[in-house]
Structure 1
Amino acid sequence: MKKTMVAALAAALTIGAASTTFAAANPFSDVPRDHWAYDAVTQLAADGVVEGYGDGTYRGDRNITRYEMAQMVGKAMAKGDMSASDRALVDRLAAEFADELNNLGVRVSNLERNADMVKWTGELRYRYWSLRNEGDRTNKDQLQLRLFPTAEVNDHWKVKARLTATTYMDKDASRPGKNDDHFQLTYAHAEGNYSNFNVKLGKMSLFTAADAGMVADDFFSGAQVTFGNKLKATLEAGRWDGITSSSDKAANYQGIDLGYAAGNLEVGAAYRQFSSKALETRDKYNVSGATEDKAAIWSVGGKYTFDKNLAISGAYAQNQKADELKKAGSVQIDYKGAKKSDMGSWGAYVAYRHLGANVAFAPTYSTDHIVNGVTSYGTKGIDLGIGYVPFKNVLTQVQYFRGKELVTDNKAQTLFGRVSFFF
């Protein structure tokens, strides 16, 4: 196929626009202004139908392949301002190069898919704590940016991660290193999804699902396998450094979590074991009573949803290796629910919690009582909160806990607020 065929296509596509749009600059060094096809070639280049080569040449005197021709036809088909005669010619050419255009469509779809293989979501959130016990008071406000990249590996596997940048606004400083600001890779793992089967490898969420996060809501490094449909089983094994702030005392961890959901009812049961010398002293928490280097925790929980507005849930857990502070329990009533995608939605809850520090290692509750950087021996009391969505993807929350520390019987109060912007 010689240049005369290309020129014929070019002339046919530009007849209607020749009187007004042939002022485009010459993009090709081998198509001089006095060339007989100059107007057609420059117009097609301006319209994006032809692109030429990286060295700035058009090479119109060489044979072109059917695939190259199909590329030009495909770009011509995307033009929306053609005359009826031009459109008829393009339609005939499209029929001639149908096979090549189909293949081109597949390649374009794959390219678009590959270009979108990494997707990013995120959250910017502000959190505030005011914590009080007898004689002590701590206020803290924090600004945090979370980025969540998800990369597609193939039809079954993805890589997921979270990047977290944190600054404590009450310790704001003009130079890095002058406060507690930090940036970290919170987790990263590969995830494979198959029919009723999921596997994760790397650093991932450690969420004790059977008790709705009462025992732990944190991260561990290792492997997790989940299988089943209505009855689901999750097996986990790896290491967790949440026992102590010293990374060389990270605990070896194994767990099994069973969950069943049918209609309005959800129930779960779990057993988890942690092994670490840090359990003998629990330096991070100043907790006595953990006399062994192991924690053997079983937990049960359930939730019943009466209708779209009302639900009740409960959980109980016990550490069989601890001498004291070894029990935890929670009962919660939820009314409605704030959904970040639904502007104007809101929800509220009221709960009673008893959190022994030798079993509720890292509970999910935002009102977990921490004073001057030290978690108490554990608390019991009333926890209540409300959430509201003033704008789409903007969630506001206020929570309040009032109770007592389990060992000292000192009063404990926590006021917590959060504003989250999701994107």
Structure 2
Amino acid sequence: MKSKVLAALVATMAVGATCAFAANPFVDVPSDSWAYKSVVELADAGIIQGVDGEHFQGQRNITRYEAAEMVAKAMAHMDKASVEQRALINKLADEFADELNNLGVRVSALENRVGNVKLTGDARVRYRYQKDNKENDNSWDYRVRLRANAMVNDRTKVTYGISSDSHAFANNGAADSENDIFTDIAKVDYNFGGSKNWALSVGRTDKYVIGGPHAYGYNYGDVFDRAELKYSGDNFMAIAGYGKFKEGSIAGGQEVTINGKKETIAGTKTAYGVIEGSFGNGTAIGAYYNSFNTSGYDYNGILGRGTELDYLWGAYASFNFGKDWNLIGNYERVNYNSNINSTVRGDEDSATVWLGRLTYGKAVMATPKTWDAWVEYLNAEDGASIGGSTNSWRWGTLDNIESWGAGIDYTFAKNAQFQVMQSFATKLKDGEGSDPEEQTRAQFVFAF
């Protein structure tokens, strides 16, 4: 690539530098040259420095490595560039992505540049089977999601996303009869004073997980409207927030008859907190608490419980050991304002669940031929599930069961992954009745 051609491109990225009184550093660029002003501006901005500090050598072919150095310097000044200039920097960064990575400049850092908007998304094709579950029996379905991320300034990031519902192929994709597209993420993230320690996030998130980032997410991991304050230190994290559930029976919206009058169940709100300590090598220990407000409605009556949700607390630990092993353990306890009134466990006002998962390896979406395999254990008392949209791969009623599960994730191409999960040795914990049927799930996930 001719250096004068690159100079003409990068000249549009001089990011406000002025050469009115700047000295020409190159002896081989005369003041009457067509490139004089651009070359001096770029040199004054620190984007180019010539061959030996004195000569520009405008007719010399430059290497891709040299071009990448110029792009890297332009990226460093990107916050002062115009929209058109940022677009050109993005194109050049894509062109020289390999050389920039070798220079230690991650092209993904462009995501955090002011004014840059990045579009991403994913698509999932899923199969689920459980013998006696007609709703999901022999079910193939699909879902597509799109996200837009934009840096408003060096402290503020806006994210907006839409998602389709999960549509069964058996329905012939009849989107006109369903609420097909909905907003599943619309939030603003703000770092105080440019600090990475304190952050405020307000709006809708697509995946609020009860318990935090390292918990299993047995009871909820889905769309959630909230305001959340987070502190992140080197070895400590704390989260406090308040919000409303948007998925599952806990989100309300069901029509019921109360005192002879039809009413719509109000959605459940929660105030929550998480604390977590990390100890290097990815090891973390945390605890969490959720206080629920069901607006006086006995929403759990929908599930036949005849009680009102009060609060939930739990604790978890995630340990990395060896090169490729990870072990997660999670305990959770749900409390109700009155007894569960269960025919299985009697008049009790709480229920607990134990979960554990051992994983070997790590399947990375961007890295082909990476994989992992895992095995997990679930032991849930009757009443442990609050009727939310679970973060687990399992579906349906997860109360009063003891079960094992296993799965494999394999990245067969860049941004393309195959996942398969299977339960086994599943049985009722207490009471009479037939043991629940095993669940099988397999899916392809594509990111773009």
Tell me by how many angstroms 1:359 deviates.
3.6
Given the alignment of the two structures, is residue 111 of structure 1 paired with residue 110 of structure 2, yes or no?
no
Tell me by how many angstroms 1:89 deviates.
4.5
Q: Could you say if the C-alpha distance between residues 175 and 306 of structure 1 is closer, same or farther in structure 2, counting changes exceeding 3 Å? A: closer
Contact 1:133/1:410, CA 8 A, preserved across alignment = no
For structure 2, list consecutive stretches of 5 or more residues without a partner in the other structure.
Answer: 1-7, 10-15, 20-27, 48-73, 88-114, 255-264, 341-347
User: Which residue of 2 is the match for residue 385 of structure 1?
Assistant: 407
Given the alignment of the two structures, is residue 404 of structure 1 paired with residue 427 of structure 2, yes or no?
yes
Tell me by how many angstroms 1:187 deviates.
1.8
User: Which residue of 2 is the match for residue 339 of structure 1?
Assistant: 364
Q: Distance in 2 between matches of 1:342 and 1:273?
A: 41
TM-score under structure 2 length normalisation: 0.66
User: Which residue of 2 is the match for residue 221 of structure 1?
Assistant: 225
Residues 98-135 of structure 1: CA deviation (Å, up to 9, x unaligned) = 49996999798333466552210111111111023489
Give the one of 417, 427, 430 matched to 1:395. Answer: 417
- Letter of the structure 2 residue corresponding to residue 235 of structure 1: A
Q: Distance in 2 between matches of 1:92 and 1:138?
A: 69
Give the one of 335, 340, 351 matched to 1:326. Answer: 351
Q: Could you say if the C-alpha distance between residues 192 and 98 of structure 1 is closer, same or farther in structure 2, counting changes exceeding 3 Å? A: closer
User: Which residue of 2 is the match for residue 234 of structure 1?
Assistant: 239
User: Which residue of 1 is the match for residue 330 of structure 2?
Assistant: 315
Q: Distance in 1 between matches of 2:377 and 2:276?
A: 23
- Residue aligned with 2:176, SS: coil
Q: Distance in 1 between matches of 2:173 and 2:125?
A: 20
Q: Could you say if the C-alpha distance between residues 357 and 223 of structure 1 is closer, same or farther in structure 2, counting changes exceeding 3 Å? A: farther
Tell me by how many angstroms 1:215 deviates.
2.8
- Residue aligned with 2:82, SS: helix
- Letter of the structure 1 residue corresponding to residue 292 of structure 2: F
RMSD: 3.6
Give the one of 297, 302, 308 matched to 2:312. Answer: 297
Over alpha carbons, which structure has the higher Rg? 1
Identity of aligned residues (%): 18
Tell me by how many angstroms 1:415 deviates.
0.4
Q: Could you say if the C-alpha distance between residues 95 and 113 of structure 1 is closer, same or farther in structure 2, counting changes exceeding 3 Å? A: closer
Q: Could you say if the C-alpha distance between residues 167 and 220 of structure 1 is closer, same or farther in structure 2, counting changes exceeding 3 Å? A: closer
- Letter of the structure 1 residue corresponding to residue 290 of structure 2: R
User: Which residue of 1 is the match for residue 208 of structure 2?
Assistant: 206
Contact 2:164/2:180, CA 8 A, preserved across alignment = yes
Contact 1:140/1:168, CA 8 A, preserved across alignment = no
Q: Distance in 1 between matches of 2:245 and 2:168?
A: 29
Q: Distance in 1 between matches of 2:43 and 2:135?
A: 75
Q: How many residues align?
A: 337
- Residue aligned with 1:333, SS: strand
Q: Could you say if the C-alpha distance between residues 411 and 192 of structure 1 is closer, same or farther in structure 2, counting changes exceeding 3 Å? A: same
Q: Distance in 2 between matches of 1:195 and 1:135?
A: 48
Contact 1:94/1:101, CA 8 A, preserved across alignment = no
- Letter of the structure 2 residue corresponding to residue 206 of structure 1: Y
Residues 65-101 of structure 1: CA deviation (Å, up to 9, x unaligned) = xx9xx9xxxxxxxxxxxxxx99984277338974999
Contact 1:142/1:166, CA 8 A, preserved across alignment = no
Tell me by how many angstroms 1:364 deviates.
1.2
Q: Distance in 2 between matches of 1:225 and 1:313?
A: 25
Q: Distance in 2 between matches of 1:98 and 1:135?
A: 69
Q: Distance in 1 between matches of 2:131 and 2:39?
A: 79
Q: Distance in 2 between matches of 1:203 and 1:344?
A: 34
Contact 2:245/2:251, CA 8 A, preserved across alignment = no
Tell me by how many angstroms 1:136 deviates.
8.8
TM-score under structure 1 length normalisation: 0.70
User: Which residue of 2 is the match for residue 9 of structure 1?
Assistant: none
- Letter of the structure 2 residue corresponding to residue 197 of structure 1: W
Counting only pairs closer than 5 Å after superposition, residues 344-359 of structure 1 correspond to structure 2 as 344-356=369-381, 358-359=383-384
User: Which residue of 2 is the match for residue 255 of structure 1?
Assistant: 272
User: Which residue of 2 is the match for residue 51 of structure 1?
Assistant: none
Q: Could you say if the C-alpha distance between residues 278 and 287 of structure 1 is closer, same or farther in structure 2, counting changes exceeding 3 Å? A: farther
- Letter of the structure 1 residue corresponding to residue 332 of structure 2: A
Contact 1:296/1:319, CA 8 A, preserved across alignment = yes
Q: Distance in 2 between matches of 1:340 and 1:219?
A: 23
Tell me by how many angstroms 1:153 deviates.
1.1
249-258 vs 135-144, which moves further: 135-144
Q: Distance in 1 between matches of 2:408 and 2:296?
A: 37
- Letter of the structure 2 residue corresponding to residue 201 of structure 1: V
- Residue aligned with 2:81, SS: helix
Q: Could you say if the C-alpha distance between residues 235 and 135 of structure 1 is closer, same or farther in structure 2, counting changes exceeding 3 Å? A: closer
